[in-house]
């Protein structure tokens, strides 16, 4: 018959509370979460494959039938070189919208101009029913 022996090595120390924290389960959980995130992040960040337009600088083709509107830094609106009020602008745009073919509207805004006057011009052009509108800018310097 075999005798069973108690394999305890200590005597009084067995009853003491263990004061060290076992971090192994915490590390295991964190590694599992890291692997899950690494697998799911590429799935979550979906992107639709689109072909974006290339930047191009097309010179403005000034035609006599085009309407050129300008806004200076004080917010004054000009029809070609003549200052116009909002009411006069609406009347002229309505008349221009009835032409066949409909003219293009080119807006030139001063870099220091506020957005309010420019927004009112765009709204007036839309209300008149003119379809083609463009903003005239200067090309960036090639340095």
The reply to whether 55 falls in a domain is no
Query: What is the number of structural domains in the chain?
Result: 1
- In CATH, what number is assigned to the domain containing residue 125? 3.30.420.270
Q: What is the pLDDT of residue 33?
A: 94
| Extended strands (E) in 9-71 | 67-71
Question: Along the 143 residues of the chain, how does pLDDT read in single tens digits?
Answer: 556 555 555 555 556 677 788 888 899 999 999 998 888 877 666 566 666 666 666 666 666 678 889 888 888 899 988 899 999 999 999 999 998 888 889 888 888 888 888 899 999 999 999 988 888 877 666 65
The reply to whether 104 falls in a domain is yes
Tokens 């090595």, residue located: 9
Range of the domain at 75: 67-136
Asked if 113 contacts 73 with a C-beta cutoff of 8 angstroms, the reply is yes
The reply to whether 40 falls in a domain is no
The reply to whether 16 falls in a domain is no
The reply to whether 2 falls in a domain is no
Beta bridge partners of 67: 105
The reply to whether 10 falls in a domain is no
Q: Count CB atoms within 10 A of the CB of residue 107.
A: 18
Structure tokens at 52: 């974006």
The reply to whether 119 falls in a domain is yes
- DSSP summary character for residue 13: G
The reply to whether 111 falls in a domain is yes
14: Cβ contacts below 8 Å, ≥ 6 apart:
8
Q: How far is CA 12 from CA 20, 21, 48, 114, in A?
A: 19, 22, 69, 84
What's the whole-model pTM score?
0.56
């Amino acid at each position: 018959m075999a005798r069973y022996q108690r394999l305890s090595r200590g005597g009084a120390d067995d009853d003491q509370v263990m004061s060290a924290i076992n971090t192994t389960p915490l590390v295991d959980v964190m590694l599992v979460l890291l692997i899950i995130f690494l697998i799911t992040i590429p799935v979550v960040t979906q992107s639709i494959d689109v072909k974006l337009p290339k930047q191009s600088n097309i010179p403005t083709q000034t035609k006599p039938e085009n309407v050129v509107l300008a806004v200076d830094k004080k917010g004054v609106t000009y029809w070609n070189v003549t200052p116009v009020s909002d009411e006069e602008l609406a009347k002229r745009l309505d008349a221009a919208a009835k032409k066949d073919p409909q003219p293009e509207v080119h807006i030139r805004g001063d870099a220091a101009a506020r957005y309010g006057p420019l927004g009112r011009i765009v709204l007036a052009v839309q209300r008149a029913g003119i379809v083609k509108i463009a903003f005239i800018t200067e090309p960036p310097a090639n340095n």
